[in-house]
Amino acid sequence: MYGEFPLGGQPQEEVLPVPTGSVKPATANRLAIVLFSGTIDKLMSASIMATGAAAMGMDVEIFLTNWGALAFRKGDYTTNKRVSADYADFQSYLLEQMAAKKVTSWMENLEGAKEIGNVHIAACSHTMTLFDLQLADLEPIVDEVTGVAAFIERAHDSAMTLYI
């Protein structure tokens, strides 16, 4: 019957725990991005977000992990034509349109973002170990290799955090 609970009685209301740690509100005028993806559609999206934020006067903190870190291997961006697997059928169309519309590459966007704002790019040490990479193996636009704690510390008080 509608309106009756199958086991009788009232549903138990779950009481969520109240955080007790020092969770401070986000205050810094900063955009934090976890860049996990190494396909150009997502790299482009991340680079535009970073560039837009830098133009708007925000600091930008980018953490490169997994495929996101691999995409920054020296010279890789010049030949990277990968797109998200679920849109693989759009690959040639996307590449054609980007060439026809003279869209700036994601790497050029990030270089532009660094010119106009305070943009810090760090590569995940776990990924670097996993793929036997050193900072010198990555494009010079990457500032350093850090662990997740360093990124979380920076993301903690950022006004926005994106996972791309």
CB of 51 to another protein, least distance (A): 5
Query: Least distance (Å) from another protein to the CB of residue 89?
Result: 23
Minimum CB distance to another protein smaller for 42 or for 128: 42
Residue closer to another protein by CB (options 150, 164) is 164
Contacts of 59 (CB under 8 A, 6+ apart): 28, 29, 30, 31, 117, 118, 119, 120
CA distance 38 to 32: 17
Rounded CA gap, 135 and 55, in Å? 27
Give me the residues that bind another protein (CB under 8 A), please.
48, 51-52, 54-57, 101-104, 109, 112-113, 115-117
Nearest distance from residue 83's CB to another protein, in Å? 18
Give the closest residue to 68 by CA, choosing from 131, 160, 149.
131
Q: Which has the closest alpha carbon to 71: 62, 60, 82?
A: 82
Nearer to another protein, 68 or 117 (CB): 117
CB-nearer residue toward another protein: 52 or 67: 52
**CB 59, min distance to another protein, A:** 13
How far CA 85 is from CA of 50, 88, 92, in Å, comes to: 24, 5, 13
With respect to another protein, which residue has the nearer C-beta, 111 or 157? 111
Question: 155 exposed, middle or buried (CB, 10 Å; 0-12, 13-18, 19+)?
Answer: buried
Q: How far is the CB of 3 from another protein (least distance, A)?
A: 49
